[in-house]
Amino acid sequence: MSHPRIRSIILLLALGGFIFAGCAPSANIVHDVNGWNGTPHEVSVTGMEGGGPPDASPPASAAAGATGAVFASTIPFEGAARQAFQAAGGEAHLMVYQSQIDPDDNGRLNEAKLRGWILKNVPSGYDGVVWLDWEGTWMDAFKSSDPSVVAAAVSEGTHAMTMARALRPNAKWGFYGLPPRLYWQRTDPSWRASAENCRALFKHVDVVGVSVYDFYADADNPGGGSGDQAYVADNVRLALDVAPPNVDVWFFVIETYHDSNAKRRGQYIPDDEWTAHTLAGLGVRQNGRAARGVVWWGSQYNGLRAGKIPPADGLSAAAWLDRHLTQRIETMDRAVRTGR
């Protein structure tokens, strides 16, 4: 990336809330727009006690500006939002969904599917990031205590990386969602073990992409905002710890609360919470390095075309979404550059 501002962006126009200039949507507005293929992402909420140790990293507001992190997105922005994203120096990433990797969810790579998707959708000579969203049986294997189960998953994942790299050697390849995230009970040794199970696979990737979606509003979280930020920091820190030094670590966010939260699903995350959530990940330092950047993942345009985003503020649904995304990008760009 050569844009002069990309080095200062850091945040990601990550998770969502927004401070629209004079027209910020309320946090209780619901747009059911997440989940490109209609399948919820895996949820690692396993209990209600504890949180991990408090984040010992420097305050994000002080550290973010010096990280050189990058703001990226898998959203194929259109219209004014696309222009704003480009002006912000945003980095566009590609995402391969499970239906093109392991449609039977049996933990085995479907070579024909993945090969066909790559040849069709990744241009020859492409040198950007491509993520494989391989969840379900294959991803769950890394949480297993059975070495043979882990070894089989590593073998399949390595095969996918080898094939992808042979087809598009200039691209940067990796998996979304590894190492497995955890919200509660982060002192449980099994969580660390699941990350250690990823080490062998991470020798064969170019990028690591841990997921740190926001599950709870700060007002609903027993630990408040600090509890949420500790969850983000701990998951990013663990990813930095198990990824090889030559492999960039990214973390994924969305702009609404996770679908597993029946009370909040579909609600936009308020801007201050969204910003603090993302800066918590960008402020982490582990083994002398930080996350490369943050990736905003979402399916807003799928939601628009499915009629799930209504008209608002006297605008058509399409015009409202374009304004929303544009102002979100601009707001997050400012937040990332200033670190607050």
Q: Convert the pLDDT of each residue in 39-84 to its tens digit.
A: 333 333 222 222 222 233 333 332 334 346 788 999 999 999 999 9
Q: Is residue 268 part of a domain?
A: yes
Please report the pLDDT score of residue 134 as a whole number: 98
For the beta sheet containing 172-176, the strands, ordered from the edge strand earlier in sequence to the opposite edge, are 91-92, 70-73, 293-296, 248-253, 207-211, 172-176, 129-132, 94-96
> How much is the pLDDT for 54?
28
pLDDT recorded at residue 245: 95
What local confidence, expressed as pLDDT, does residue 206 receive?
A: 98
Helices (H) and strands (E) in the chain, counts: 12, 8
Residue 274 — very low, low, confident or very high, per pLDDT cuts 50/70/90? confident
Cα dihedral 122→123→125→126 (10° resolution): -50
Distance CA 63, CA 67 (A): 7
CATH number of the domain at 132, please: 3.20.20
DSSP-assigned beta bridge partners for residue 91: 72
At 266, the pLDDT band (50, 70, 90 cuts) reads confident
Q: How many domains does the chain have?
A: 1
What's the pLDDT at 93? 96
Q: Where residue 92 falls among pLDDT bands split at 50, 70, 90?
A: very high
Q: Residue 68: left if φ>0, alpha if ψ -120 to 50, beta else—which one? A: left
State the average pLDDT over residues 274-280. 88
Q: Which residue has the higher pLDDT, 122 or 339?
A: 122
Is the model's pLDDT at 4 over the cut of 50? no
The answer as to whether 332 is a domain residue is: yes
| Domain assignment of residue 34, yes or no | yes
Task: Determine, yes or no, domain membership for 1.
Answer: no
pLDDT at residue 252 in the model: 95
Mean pLDDT value across residues 22-40: 34
Helices (H), 107-256: 111-121, 136-140, 147-167, 189-196, 199-202, 224-242
Which residues constitute the domain of residue 184?
A: 6-338
- What letter would DSSP give residue 52? -
Query: Would you state the pLDDT for residue 11?
Result: 37
> Residue 231: how many CA atoms within 13 Å on its side-chain side?
30
Which pLDDT value is given to residue 180?
97
Q: Which residue type sits at 6?
A: I
Average pLDDT, rounded, for the chain: 81
Q: Is residue 254 part of a domain?
A: yes
Q: What digits encode the pLDDT tens for the residues 199-247?
A: 999 999 999 999 999 999 998 988 788 889 999 999 999 999 999 999 9
Q: Which helix or strand (DSSP H or E) is residue 334 part of? A: helix 317-338
Query: Which percentage of the chain shows pLDDT scores above 70?
Result: 80
- Return the pLDDT at 323: 95
pLDDT value at residue 68: 66
Tens-digit pLDDT profile for residues 127-154: 999 999 999 999 999 999 999 999 999 9
Judged on CB neighbours under 10 Å (0-12, 13-18, 19+), 149 is: middle
Please identify which residue in the block is written with the tokens 């696309």. Answer: 82
Return the pLDDT at 112: 98
265 pLDDT band, cuts 50/70/90, is confident
Residue 71 tokens, joined: 């703001």
Q: What distance in Å separates the CA atoms of residue 209 and residue 253, rounded to the nearest whole number?
A: 10
